Amino acid sequence: MSEDGKMLDCLGLTITGEEVQRWDELWLEDLSGARRPSDWGPDFFKPCRREGPVLEQFREENLPGIPVEEMADLRVLEIGCGLGRLARLQLGSAPSRYVGIDTSRLAVALARGRLHGYPGYEFCHSVDDRDHLQSLRGEFDLALAVSVFIHLPPVRAAAVLRYMAEVVAPGGWVSADVPVDADCQTTVREQWKPGETWSVVANQGDLLWETMHEAGLVDVQTHHTLARRAYVVGRKP
Ligand SMILES: C[S@@+](CC[C@H](N)C(=O)[O-])C[C@H]1O[C@@H](n2cnc3c(N)ncnc32)[C@H](O)[C@@H]1O
């Protein structure tokens, strides 16, 4: 960390110690308050279900546009993995490798505990594990970010997408979601402190679409899901 409290993360972004701490605090508030994540409860550390309707629903809601036949033995890198919610669901499709990255140390610690003992799963902190994460190039079939780009201003979104494009192998997928209705944007904005204008970004769908092209991705398509989200999915040539 530099003297002014700024740090460089694996995505090439400069972030402050305060921002890292704020994500920890947001998770703490969510876990102890009314906005508890759907997967927070007595089953949080229980073994994962590997098949059935949960997996099917997960695929429909979180991996639209990616053919089921290409999901076997997938190598997945997830930006903003949070508490490992998707990692746990993805166990059903048995990816051969999974790397989750988050800026909240609390989230990384909980996700590590949750998936402890599952081979091939790794959770990393975007700043503390930067060198390792920057060495990952062309090693994944899918780079995924769920409920993350809504928190990124355009300049950050571009850097994150460049990183996602770099970590996937030729033919690999890059997928990120955005909420598609105004109500959802309002809800997210309200959980932030006033003045944090970067926390919710308008027109993210268009931005993602353009930025994926700028990052050299092809076949970029938008897929709407039932959960009032749209996924923008591109492919590395
Ligand atoms: C709304 S949560 C979504 C968590 C998870 N993807 C899910 O759907 O359950 C957003 C996550 O993105 C993380 N995050 C925000 N900015 C980030 C960045 N620049 N790099 C990595 N993670 C980031 C936050 O710490 C938080 O855990």
Residue 34: give its domain's CATH number: 3.40.50.150
DSSP state, residue 195: T
Residue 88 lies in a domain: yes
Residue 94 has pLDDT above 70, yes or no: no
How many whole angstroms separate alpha carbon 140 and alpha carbon 48? 23
How many whole angstroms separate alpha carbon 184 and alpha carbon 78? 22
CA-closest residue to ligand 1 atom 11: 80
Question: Of 183, 215, 223, which Cα lies nearest the Cα of 200?
Answer: 183
In this prediction, residue 118 carries a pLDDT of 85
Distances (CA, A) of 135 to 53, 61, 131, 152, 192: 36, 30, 6, 23, 33
CB 225 within 8 A of CB 60: yes
Residue 150 lies in a domain: yes
Mean pLDDT of 24-34: 88
Residue 1 lies in a domain: no
Of 4 and 117, the structure prediction assigns the larger pLDDT to 117
Question: What is the rounded average pLDDT for all residues in the chain?
Answer: 83
Which residues touch 90 (CB under 8 Å, ≥6 apart)? 58, 76, 98
Helices 204-214 and 154-167 meet at what angle, rounded to 10? 50
Residue 54 lies in a domain: yes
Residue 196 lies in domain? 6-235
Ligand 1 within 6 A of 148 CB? yes
Ligand 1 within 6 A of 23 CB? yes
Of 189 and 18, the structure prediction assigns the larger pLDDT to 18
CA-closest residue to ligand 1 atom 19: 103
Indicate the number of domains in the chain: 1
Mean pLDDT of 96-100: 93
Question: Of 12, 9, 141, which Cα lies nearest the Cα of 78?
Answer: 141
Whose structure tokens read 């990255």? 101
Which residues touch 110 (CB under 8 Å, ≥6 apart)? 83, 84
Mean pLDDT of 97-125: 94
Residue 189 lies in a domain: yes
Give the confidence band of 190 by pLDDT, cuts at 50, 70, 90: very low
Give the atom of ligand 1 at the shortest distance from the alpha carbon of 27.
Answer: 27
In this prediction, residue 165 carries a pLDDT of 97
Residue 200 has pLDDT above 60, yes or no: no
Range of lowest pLDDT (80-94, 157-171, 183-197):
183-197
In this prediction, residue 197 carries a pLDDT of 43
Ligand 1 within 6 A of 103 CB? yes
Classify strands 140-145 and 168-179 as parallel, antiparallel or unpaired: parallel
The DSSP bridge partners found for residue 78 are 100, 144
Q: Which amino acid is at 106?
A: L
In this prediction, residue 192 carries a pLDDT of 44
In this prediction, residue 147 carries a pLDDT of 87
Q: What does pTM read for this prediction?
A: 0.90
Using CB atoms within 10 Å of the CB of residue 236, give its burial: 0 to 12 exposed, 13 to 18 middle, 19+ buried: buried
Mean pLDDT of 33-54: 78
Mean pLDDT of 183-190: 49
> What is the Å distance from ligand 1's center to 78 Cα?
9
